[in-house]
Amino acid sequence: MADTSKNGGEKGDFMMKAATFIVDRRNLFFLLFGIAIIFSVISMNWVKVENALSAYLPETTETRQGMDLMEGQFITYGTAQVMVANIPYEEAERIAEELEALDTVIMLSFDETKEHYNNFSALYDVTFGYEETDERALQALEQVEEMLSGYDVYVSTGMGDASAEQIASEMQVISLLVAVVVVTVLLLTSQTWAEVPVLLLTFVAAALITKGTNFCMGTISFVSNSVTIVLQLALSIDYAVIFCNRYKEEHQTLSIREADIVALSKAIPEISSSSLTTIGGLVAMMFMQFGIGRDMALCLIRGIFLSLLSVFLLMPGLIMLFGKAMDRTRHKSFIPKIPFVGKFAYRTRYVMPPLFVALIVGAYLISSKCPYVYGYSELETPVKSDAMVVDEMIEESFGASNMVALVVPAGNYEKEKQLLKELDARPEVDYTMGLANTEAMDGYMLTDKLTAREFSELLELDYEVAEVLYMAYAVNDENYAKIINGLSTYSVPLIDIFMFLYDEVQEGYVTLEDDMMETLEDAHSQMQIALDQLQGEEYSRMLVYLNLPEEGDETFGFLEEMHKIAGKYYEGSILIPGEATSQYDLYKTFQTDNTVVNVVSILAVLVVLLFTFMSAGMPVLLILIIQGAIWVNFSFPALQQKNLFFMSYLIVSSIQMGANIDYAIVISGRFMELKDKMSKRDAIIETMNFAFPTIVTSGSMLALAGIFIGRMSSDGAICGIGQCLGRGTIISIVIVMFVLPQILLLGEKIIDKTSFAVSIPLKLERTSGLMRVDGLVQGQINGAIIGELHGFVRGDASLFVNMGRLEQREDDGGDLETIQKREEEKVTQ
């Protein structure tokens, strides 16, 4: 027992010394945080944001492999769909001619079919002469929009960051509203007006530093960039509130400085322990195959860590700064006592637990049928972005387009032709596009083989010139047999002989007349564009337009069928990248991620709770409560048959498990502390009165933050996270307020029996005179005392020391207040 007391004492001394250093060196920490904030304001501009969800797919998925391969093998030019409404067909034709005449436009698709002209609206498929990542492609699009400024024009394009800019704009408004909510909640739950700026300055510093350190991750997802700060506020504001309440409690008997030091020494282990459940839930996201989980988890964990540093290092100095103002601005608490909740819990303790069990069983069964989707096409959001409005207008007039790329080994045009022909015959395919079925001129396809005579007739070229050209091609192709046996039957793919002729002309080996040269230049330009997009050094690319939605069992099944069809013609790697494949890959990763996230989040929180309560029963009970709330949460979209983006479930279930369980911990911890000191009825009433301010402060912020995000974001993923988080937090609050108390009343004996806390033999300390008492003690004192748990006693004491120490001191006869001040001065030094 002596050793234990000594260790406990040393730990207490260390915390006191650390807290004293932080409070007394507050100007140093003000300087450090000021430097960090200035740096962060500058470094915010260094953050790179990834706007494509597919970029976070595992490298083993078909989409990632296809994207990486296409990036190295092909050139993807900037494209846009331009719809001009309310014009006759003659006007649409004239506009097409003007667009085609632009130097920046290298390809334009428009005809009189319903795919391009319908309901007095024209749809132009425009391809620009620059890669889609080239800034000049956006400038070319601006030129088109300026040219058509007198018409009703609607543009749909994947170029640029228009959607990211809109999301950023929306999140600025959401952040402002959340800030208003936070200030309002803090004002209503405060006991002194001046504590509000202390809490806000603490959080703003943490938020700015979090935002500024995002660049350390290199690139972060648009989801993390959008919601991390809002969620950081909602998740970590508790830490500042806990410390502030500790300070106010200590300040009832101690001066500002001493109360600040003692409160900080107690708050550091308490808040650190509290943060572990939240971090444990977030850690589960790092085990997702889908990389956006790891990205978001790292951002939020870093945000929570920086919030802890801000509370531990900056807030003590702010309390010293605002301490006197806090004393002058005290006011009556606006949070009422809620004894009726405790009374209701006691009266319904035999009713609510079985009802809750029935509820969560039903919720589990219903939530398992939640309609998850893996792309944005089947999602509805309360707010629609400009891009979404345009896409809907185009789809309404011209139908939806679902295109996938088919990437196969290059080098065999005949196989490509047969493959495209078989795919075109399938009812699931609208049409295909590849070198083998793209018309060059006069009915010939780009890859059709022509003899020298056929080529000369096609271009009205002298046969002798064509024959010489074919002979040179055969030599270049090392096909000497054709030169020896004659060239009359020697045939060469049209695109190959065309490109060879162009090279020969450029090198001066062949001279053509002006009109022939103009024809050759135009043909070469178009063929080079086709080659850039459809043929690489090792692979060929074909575009397949499907008559199927972007996702669904039928679509996913046909993607597998396409692999089988292509496999009949090609050996080796066959890839089908596209939006539909991306969603199929997400669907397959979700099947694993769903299980992993649930198991890891439960295990992580379970470990923390085991060491917090030293009981096997309590962690299981609390996890069941929050897991039940999660099942109830995701029963709503199932009952409403409202599609839910799969990522919303993975992220929100982790956050709900890690953060909302804190509400249950507050109630459970307080009840277990009081149940042996008073009747069970009084204990649960007192517990609910104690826990309500904490739960309403933290819960209302998180719930309202989620609701605002869910109601005001046009992005399907972000919107889904907000809606589920807001609804889930409200459900968790209701359950921990109106179900957990009854379960605690019924299960407290089981919790006690499953406790594995080690009972340490108590040592009875008997002494007299002046003594210092630190820690949790039980017994009798005959004499005078001053202090709270940590204080001096003069008299006779007979005490059991549960935790801490009792030290005999020399008595110089001075009064206890003078002795205590002298002791505090020693600690300061």
Task: Name the packing angle between helices 716-738 and 617-633 (round to 10°).
Answer: 130
pTM metric for this prediction: 0.79
Phi/psi at 343 (5° precision): -65, -40
Given a contact cutoff of 8 angstroms between Cβ atoms, the answer to whether 160 and 138 are in contact is yes
Strand, helix or coil for residue 788: strand
Residue whose C-alpha is closest to residue 225's, from 169, 285, 162, 281:
169
pLDDT band at 808 (very low <50, low <70, confident <90, very high): low
The 10 Å Cβ neighbour count of residue 478 is 7
How far is it, in rounded angstroms, from Cα 547 to Cα 433?
15
The 10 Å Cβ neighbour count of residue 451 is 17
Token duo for residue 77: 């030019």
Instruction: Name the helix (H) or strand (E) containing 588.
Output: helix 579-613
pLDDT band at 735 (very low <50, low <70, confident <90, very high): very high
Distance in angstroms between the alpha carbons of the first and the last residue of the chain:
30
How far is it, in rounded angstroms, from Cα 139 to Cα 390?
20
Phi/psi at 548 (5° precision): -125, 155
How far is it, in rounded angstroms, from Cα 748 to Cα 674?
12
Give me the DSSP letters along 483-503.
HHH-STT-EEEHHHHHHHHHH
Residue whose C-alpha is closest to residue 598's, from 628, 622, 627, 638:
627
pLDDT at 41: 92
Q: Is the per-residue pLDDT at 424 higher than 90?
A: yes
The 10 Å Cβ neighbour count of residue 39 is 14
How far is it, in rounded angstroms, from Cα 379 to Cα 647?
13
Higher pLDDT, 259 or 386: 259
Q: Is the per-residue pLDDT at 602 higher than 80?
A: yes
Instruction: Name the residue with tokens 């972060």.
Output: 220
pLDDT at 281: 82
pLDDT at 319: 95
pLDDT at 788: 47
Given a contact cutoff of 8 angstroms between Cβ atoms, the answer to whether 156 and 80 are in contact is yes
Token duo for residue 225: 């960039």
pLDDT at 14: 82
Give me the DSSP letters along 746-777.
HHHHHHHHTB----PPP-EEEEEEEEEEEEEE
How far is it, in rounded angstroms, from Cα 362 to Cα 223?
32
Q: Could you report the per-residue pLDDT of 31-68, keeping only the tens digit for each?
A: 999 999 999 999 988 888 888 878 888 888 899 999 88
How far is it, in rounded angstroms, from Cα 799 to Cα 113?
96
Given a contact cutoff of 8 angstroms between Cβ atoms, the answer to whether 57 and 291 are in contact is yes
pLDDT at 6: 42
Higher pLDDT, 328 or 440: 328
Q: Is the per-residue pLDDT at 92 higher than 90?
A: yes
How far is it, in rounded angstroms, from Cα 688 to Cα 666?
9
Q: Could you report the per-residue pLDDT of 456-466, keeping only the tens digit for each?
A: 888 888 888 88
The 10 Å Cβ neighbour count of residue 648 is 24
Given a contact cutoff of 8 angstroms between Cβ atoms, the answer to whether 570 and 246 are in contact is no
Q: Is the per-residue pLDDT at 378 higher than 90?
A: no
pLDDT at 5: 39
pLDDT at 488: 75
Q: Could you report the per-residue pLDDT of 242-254, keeping only the tens digit for each?
A: 888 889 888 888 8
How far is it, in rounded angstroms, from Cα 122 to Cα 115?
9
Token duo for residue 611: 């060491």
Q: Could you report the per-residue pLDDT of 657-715, keeping only the tens digit for each?
A: 877 788 888 888 888 888 888 888 999 999 999 888 888 888 888 898 889 989 988 88
- CA distance to 353, 642, 739, per residue, from 732 (Å): 15, 21, 10
Mean pLDDT of 736-765: 75
pLDDT band at 766 (very low <50, low <70, confident <90, very high): low
Q: Could you report the per-residue pLDDT of 481-529, keeping only the tens digit for each?
A: 555 566 778 888 999 988 988 888 888 887 777 888 888 888 888 888 8
Residue whose C-alpha is closest to residue 496's, from 581, 410, 572:
410
Phi/psi at 796 (5° precision): -110, 135
The 10 Å Cβ neighbour count of residue 723 is 26
Given a contact cutoff of 8 angstroms between Cβ atoms, the answer to whether 743 and 621 are in contact is yes
Strand, helix or coil for residue 143: helix
DSSP state of 45: G
How far is it, in rounded angstroms, from Cα 652 to Cα 292?
13
Q: Could you report the per-residue pLDDT of 230-287, keeping only the tens digit for each?
A: 778 767 777 888 888 889 888 888 899 999 999 999 888 878 877 888 888 888 888 8
